[in-house]
Amino acid sequence: MRAVGQNDKSRGKGWSPGGLRTGLVVLALAALAPGCGRGGTEVEPAGGQQPLEAPPARALDAYATKLRAAHAARTAAARRWGLQRVPLTAPPPPAKKPAITTRDGFEVDGHRRLDLPPVFTTVPTKDRVVFLTIDDGAEKDPAFLRMTNELRIPYTVFLSDYLAKEDYGYFERMRDAGVGLHNHTLRHPYLPALSHARQKREICGMQKVIEERYGERPALFRPPYGNYDKATLRAAKACGITHVPLWNAEVFADHWEYREWDRSLHPGDIVLSHFRGREDWKGTMPDMVRRFLNKVTAEGYAVGRLEDYL
């Protein structure tokens, strides 16, 4: 059985906080105004009910003020962390989740027949969003936590226990901030070299660690190095895995790498990075986040939460 792995492989328009209140008031009143039909014709409420009243202007003003304050805080955070632009806000999660299928060329024998978890590098969506995913858990930089929290940037983590166990509390703080913690095996082996039973121990063992430490059994699994075979996916399914996201681009502290020939980002692309510091990179975790955000924002992309699309 051959191993499958990574070698098989509008700009947002600016807006002013000063104009936000007016827009919100207009939109909210249009949506909530009582009984207004097309052409401004008033519609009689059914059953003799009294028409709904528009919310007080002060409520809309308070909401607009709250949004302005949130944007001001994010603007200040972007300046504090040295970003070129304020990151764009992601659209609401889709009400209907996109159908996730295995990318062409990434299938194993009997993939559909055995109903194995899909392996994919991009989420099918028209939203101008990309997804940041970070692997292993080696570097535990508190500045990274502060930066992502202050900027409200979502990301998804794939943990290996041999590294995470050095400081489980670091990743607990991520979980408390809403970050999804998922499976990257116990010891980060090259899985296709292992038997089905040993692969299952690596994957199911990490499922147990995350559930016991963080209270939720992961649904996502990323094989180390992006390498897997049929036994890997069979083991993953048996351990409760529903999706196997790989990546379409990778960001480092000082450069990007791409899977596609056009060396570009696309809507729904999954971006890989790692928990690394100066010992391994030409920079720090905040340097990586800065490089990531500067590019995606300049190209008109927001950062979405991967779990919201699966």
Residue 3 belongs to some domain of the structure: no
Report the C-alpha gap between 210 and 190 in whole angstroms: 21
The confidence score (pLDDT) of residue 40 equals 37
Please name which of 287, 271, 246, 303 lies closest in space to residue 139, comparing C-alpha atoms.
287
Does the pLDDT value for residue 63 go beyond 80? no
> Predicted confidence band at 298 (pLDDT cuts at 50, 70, 90)?
very high
Residue 100 belongs to some domain of the structure: yes
Same domain, 102 and 26: no
Report the C-alpha gap between 142 and 149 in whole angstroms: 11
Please name which of 261, 191, 264 lies closest in space to residue 233, comparing C-alpha atoms.
191
The dihedrals phi and psi of 149, each to the nearest 5 degrees, come to -70, -45
> Predicted confidence band at 65 (pLDDT cuts at 50, 70, 90)?
confident
| CB contact at 8 A, 100 and 125 | no
Same domain, 267 and 180: yes
Same domain, 181 and 278: yes
Tokens of 161: 């226990």
Long-range contacts, 102-106 (Cβ 8 Å, 24+)? 105/8, 106/4, 106/8, 106/246
Same domain, 21 and 121: no
* DSSP code, position 265: -
Residue 5 belongs to some domain of the structure: no
Does the pLDDT value for residue 187 go beyond 90? yes
Bigger pLDDT: 61 or 125? 125
**pLDDT, tens only, 278-289:** 999 999 999 999
Contacts of 146 (CB under 8 A, 6+ apart): none
**pLDDT, tens only, 22-34:** 444 444 434 333 3
Q: Which helix (H) or strand (E) holds 131?
A: strand 129-136
Does the pLDDT value for residue 6 go beyond 80? no
Q: Within 10 Å of residue 151's Cβ, how many Cβ atoms?
A: 19
Tally of domains within the chain: 2
**pLDDT, tens only, 221-240:** 999 999 999 999 999 999 99
Same domain, 72 and 123: no
Domain that holds residue 193: 95-309
Same domain, 164 and 28: no
The confidence score (pLDDT) of residue 32 equals 38
Residue 125 belongs to some domain of the structure: yes
| CB contact at 8 A, 268 and 124 | yes
Rounded mean pLDDT of 81-90? 96
| CB contact at 8 A, 206 and 186 | yes
Mean residue pLDDT across the chain? 86
Look-up: residue for tokens 């390498």? 227
